[in-house]
Structure formats: C-alpha cells, structure tokens
Amino acid sequence: MEYYEILDYLYNKLPVFHRIGPAAYKANLNNTLKINEFLNHPEKQFKSIHIAGTNGKGSTAHILSSILQEKGLKTGLCTSPHLKDFRERIKINGKMIPEKYLKDFFNETNIKFIETINPSFFELTTGITFKYFADQKVDIAVVETGMGGRLDSTNTVNPLVSIITNIGLDHSDLLGDTLEKIAFEKAGIIKPNIPVIIGQKQDLIKKVFDLKAKENNASIFYADDNYSIDYIKNHDNYYYYDVYNKNNKIFQIESPLGGSYQNHNIITALQCCELLNNKYDYKISNNHIINGLKNVIDNTGFRGRWTILSKKPLIVCDTGHNKEALEIIIENINSCEYDKLHFIVGFMNDKKIDDILSMLPKDAAYYFTKANVPRSLDANILKEKAKKFGLKGMVFNQVNQAFDKAKELSTKDDMIFIGGSTFVVAEVLTMPE
C-alpha cells in the first residue's frame, strides 16, 4: 500500500469517531487486547506516563514530553486528535512517525487478520503507535488517552505514573451524564501500586479518585496542593509565570503556551517531574523544566491551544470545545485589548451547545461556520440556535470563507478568535500562509 492508500484505509474503511461519532466507540478493550497480542505486546516494551482528563491532557502531555526531551531522553508522544497530519498523533522527540514506517507496517502486517478483529480507527492507530515506540526503543512515552480512560485503547500500558488532569461534562452520552460518572471512567487508568496525579482538585469528585487509588494501593497526589503559579505578563508571543511550591517561589517560567488554563497543566507536569525524581531517580532538574516549557513548541510541534496567528489584528485560535474549556477561553479573550471582537465558531452536531452559546460575548460579530467533517453542525442551524442567546452574525459553509471575511472586515486593532471545534481550528491552521 502507498501512503495515500493507507490514509484512505484508516479514514474510510474503519469507524472513525470524528467522522461518525458514537458509532465508532467500542465500550470494551477486546479489540485492543487482540491487536496487542497479534503485535507481540508492544505495550509492555517501553516505559510510559499515562494521561487522562476532560481538558488539559494534550497540553500536559506536550509539556512533559518537552521536559523529558530536554533531559536527553528518547521520548515518544501519543496524542489525539491531529490538526493537519495523521502522523502528528505519533511522535518521537517531536518528529512524526515516518511515512515509510507506516507503509512497511501495512505491507508487512497481515491486514486480513486485523480486519477479522474489526477494529476502530483509534484501536488500530493505538496498536501502530505502541509498536512504533517498541520498535524504536524509546526511553519513555507520554501517552494521552483518547476519550475516556477505563475502556480507552491506550489503557493497556503499565505506566510509571498515571495522570488525570480534570473532569468536565464532555462526551456525556458515552462516559456518563454526571461528573461522578465521568470521573469513574477516567479513574479507570489508576492501576495497582502505580502513583496517580490529579491535576485539579474538584471537591465533588475527589472521593471517586481517593477510593479508586485506595482500592489499588496507589499513592495519590493533588498537584494544586503542592504547587501554584502566578501569571505575570506576555511579551513577543511568550508568557511568563512565577512558580511556587508550598514554601516559596521556585523559579520563573517563560513559555509560548498562553492562557490561564495552562497554570493547571504546568503544575501537573511539575508534580509528575517531582514524582519521577523521587520514586524513579530520573534527575530532572529545574533547568530541564524551564527549558522544556520554553521550547515546548520547537520540541514537540504543539499547536492549537491559544495559538497566536497574528498581532495586528490579534488573531487567536484554540481547540477547547466544551463548556469548561470555553469558560476559560472567554476569560482570556476578555483580558485582551481590542476594539471589536470577530468570533469564528463551529461545533459538532452531537455537542450540547446551549450552555456554551449562553456564555459567549454578546457584542462580538459572529461568523457561523462548519468544518468539513460529517459530524459538523450545519452553520444555519448554529445561527438559529445562537440567535436565542442574542448572538448575531453571518453564515459561511466553509471555514476558509469565514476566516477571509473576518480578516476583510477587521481593523488592525480588532481581535479575531477561531474556535468551538478542533476541526474548525485545524482547517485554519492548514490554510496556506
């Protein structure tokens, strides 16, 4: 198979969540276990850090990967979804899996046997990821779950540390309709005698994690009990944070990662580094952490979280797509200086968006649009839903049309924000510069 044939196979022959939604979700690990066995159990052949959570797990994964790279470790990074290129999901030291490796995998693997398993896109992708990390003999891999935890295809690794960033009401049709039910699913990554870090203490669900950790004899650490961060300022696309432990200021961090939500992600990464040092003697220094944060985009290629595309006008995109993420994004928007806000927005059709629409700025000019994936909510329907909440704007059937019109109508002192869906942001980032 050629590379384009492989992509066609992955996207069109296998059930893909971002295309067809819940029908692609497999509520068990049966296929994953069969794939692992067929591939000679690659998940057992490398050390890992396993990260689940509603928001922040992607940022935390990239931060940790960058720090571990600064330490000099050959570091695998498994994330989803991708923005531009399928291979973004599978990286070692910031470099995407080669097309040649994928071609060799599909040409040398008994695909007919795999097809008897009838895997989803994510199940097979996870198998490929783990085999690549094993074949390349990574020192450690940072593995982000897809959607859940307990039944997620990544949940066959036996990590050094498990991390749960936070819990919000997202994918509630599959994971549960309360925070407690979703927390139970995410807590499924907690394993016997493996320490777990909770990135953000939430009183309503703390008991879920405490009980699961106790059942598994797993030490549990709440990052915000031990670390705190003050946001200082931003300058030339870099942001500055003062970092404190329980006693005093440790150091100042300079990073291209902006947005107040990064506070929780940074301290979660710090707690993980402390644990790797104390339990496994990794000898991660403050300089490794400082340089990891400063060089996170260069080291990992991370984009899509409060990514600044232009300063005049200020153009920002962010993939946050649920109520909790959008709340913080709006806080960040409100902290910016601008004359007029232009808001390019689109959602998936299986999202409960009334709560999100109710909190969006009423005085913005809206550009309602849809990403080019089947699950996208029709832009005309979005406009009608938004009208109930006093949001007014124009409809565009393509993201690039919405972006072009927003740039045309904005002045250098305005702000353009693009978000609502990962796939809307992805289309902006794939446009020719």
Q: Mark which of 283, 300, 317 sits at the end of a domain.
A: 300
DSSP string, 50-89: EEE-SSSHHHHHHHHHHHHHHTT--EEEE--S-SS-GGGG
- pLDDT for res 25: 54
- pLDDT for res 241: 87
Helix ranges (H only) for 281-392 are 286-294, 296-300, 323-334, 354-359, 379-387
Residues 120 and 258 in one domain: yes
d(CA 150, CA 164): 12
User: Which range, 10-24, 176-190, 268-282, has the best average confidence (pLDDT)?
Assistant: 268-282
Residues 184 and 328 in one domain: no
pTM for this one? 0.91
Number of domains forming the structure of the chain: 2
Q: Once rounded to an integer, what is the mean pLDDT over residues 322-350?
A: 91
| Residue 20 structure tokens | 């067809």
* Structural contact between residues 370 and 379, judged by C-beta atoms closer than 8 angstroms: yes
d(CA 414, CA 405): 14
Q: Mark which of 274, 300, 326 sits at the end of a domain.
A: 300
| Residue 317 structure tokens | 């995109």
Q: Once rounded to an integer, what is the mean pLDDT over residues 26-34?
A: 85
Comparing 114-118, 166-170, 361-365, the range with the smallest average pLDDT is 166-170
Comparing 175-184, 274-283, 420-429, the range with the smallest average pLDDT is 175-184
With a cut of 80, say whether residue 194 has pLDDT above it: yes
Query: How sure is the predictor about 290, in pLDDT bands with cuts at 50, 70 and 90?
Result: very high
Residues 131 and 85 in one domain: yes
Residues 283 and 419 in one domain: no
Give 3-state DSSP helix, strand, coil % of the chain, rounded to 5.
45, 20, 40
Give the mean pLDDT of the chain: 91
Residues 234 and 322 in one domain: no
Residues 281 and 332 in one domain: no
CATH label of the domain that carries residue 119: 3.40.1190.10
CATH label of the domain that carries residue 341: 3.90.190.20
Residues 314 and 284 in one domain: no
Q: Mark which of 300, 326, 348 sits at the end of a domain.
A: 300
Task: Give the domain range for residue 266.
Answer: 3-300
Residues 127 and 34 in one domain: yes
d(CA 34, CA 134): 17
Q: Once rounded to an integer, what is the mean pLDDT over residues 252-268?
A: 88
Q: Are strands 161-164 and 48-52 parallel, antiparallel or unpaired?
A: parallel
